[in-house]
Structure 1
Amino acid sequence: MVDVNLLPGDDDPFAPIELIFYAFRAFTAKPDAILAERGLARLHHRILYFVARHPGRRVSDLLAILGVSKQALHGPLKQLVAMGLVEVSPDPGDGRARCLSLSSEGAELEARLSQTQRELLERVFAEQGEAAELAWRKVMRGLAGSAP
């Protein structure tokens, strides 16, 4: 945890960059620790998260969502399949394409990982109030919408 007294002030032009860094570190700390127990990393979490949100989607769809190369996805996805966390099946409309879903164990792990993040956000939103949450969502949408 960062000492909030050491965070940059609102008048510091670099404050938003530092705050995103520290916030993301706090946001990913618990899931990273849970993943490390299994020898997994943050990309594994992103795969589990988006497969849970979009079950039955093609591998190519996951590549587009994550914005990673086939090579970057291949190893972690293969590992999750080997561990029995992700299941791969042929696409009914195109036998060459592969669709992804979570096994029950994969769904349990993903729920555990995401629950830590939902609880953190719920706590902070409750502390800061609804107006702050709505402003935060607006800023996050603006950032997400500016991605290349």
Structure 2
Amino acid sequence: MAETPAGGESLLFLTDENIRKGVEAMFFAYRGFTADPDRILEGMAYGRAHHRAVHFIHRSPGTTVGNLLAILGVTKQSLNRVLRSLFDDGLVEARVGKKDKRERHLYLTEKGAALERKLSDAQRARMRAAYRAAGPAAVQGFRTVLEAMMDPEQRRQYLTLKEGTA
């Protein structure tokens, strides 16, 4: 007899084969999702860490270096290398905190905002096409699966961003 959760639906979809297919689909989807930005960044000697930093600085203008460290889950040394190149190339600027002079608040410059738009436009076009092909129920299911895969701290950070309070 098939195992069923409280809602009464069957759990037959939880086979190792279905899980393997999902893992493989995620690997290939990630390659596709990052391919366009990778091509854009390649000529600039930037990588995915630069892309993520630019994305989250755009998403939360004025975010602190400490907050960006927590969101990206990288070492301080690694983030400093990324930020140094973004500062040197005029894409990001740091402003001293008004309340705490030790804090550095990060903002994209006009040049940084233009790069962010170019990177995001490429990914939004890919996501929009996939969402259109899958339909609204699949989009909601996809988001539900992604959120369920997050560790509790990652989910908290994501929900904070989603609510626009970061």
SS in 2 for 1:61: helix
Partner of 2:136: 130
2:63 is the counterpart of 1:57: yes
SS in 1 for 2:28: helix
Deviations 1:42-78 (A, max 9, x none): 0000000000000111100100111111011010110
Shift in Å, 1:13: 4.0
SS in 1 for 2:106: strand
2:113 is the counterpart of 1:113: no
Shift in Å, 1:18: 1.2
Q: Greater CA deviation, 63-72 or 43-52?
A: 63-72
Scaled by the length of structure 1, what TM-score is found?
Answer: 0.89
Q: For residues 125 and 147 of structure 1, what CA distance do their matches in structure 2 show?
A: 27
Partner of 1:33: 39
Aligned length: 139
SS in 2 for 1:77: helix
Partner of 2:17: 11
User: What pairs up with 1:82-97 in 2 under 5 angstroms?
Assistant: 82-97=88-103
Q: For residues 13 and 69 of structure 1, what CA distance do their matches in structure 2 show?
A: 31
2:78 is the counterpart of 1:72: yes
Q: Structure 1 vs Structure 2: percent identity of aligned residues?
A: 40
Deviations 1:63-103 (A, max 9, x none): 01111110110101100000000001101111011110000
User: What runs of 5+ residues in structure 2 fail to find an aligned partner?
Assistant: 1-15, 155-166
Q: Cα RMSD between the aligned structures?
A: 1.5
**Structure 1 counterpart of 2:47, one-letter code:** A
SS in 1 for 2:61: coil
Partner of 2:106: 100
Q: For residues 142 and 102 of structure 1, what CA distance do their matches in structure 2 show?
A: 31
Moved over 3 A (4+): 10-13, 145-148
Q: For residues 146 and 152 of structure 2, what CA distance do their matches in structure 1 show?
A: 10
Q: For residues 32 and 152 of structure 2, what CA distance do their matches in structure 1 show?
A: 23
SS in 1 for 2:90: coil
**Structure 1 counterpart of 2:136, one-letter code:** E
Higher Rg of the two aligned structures: 2
Deviations 1:30-52 (A, max 9, x none): 00010011111000000000000
**Structure 2 counterpart of 1:97, one-letter code:** E
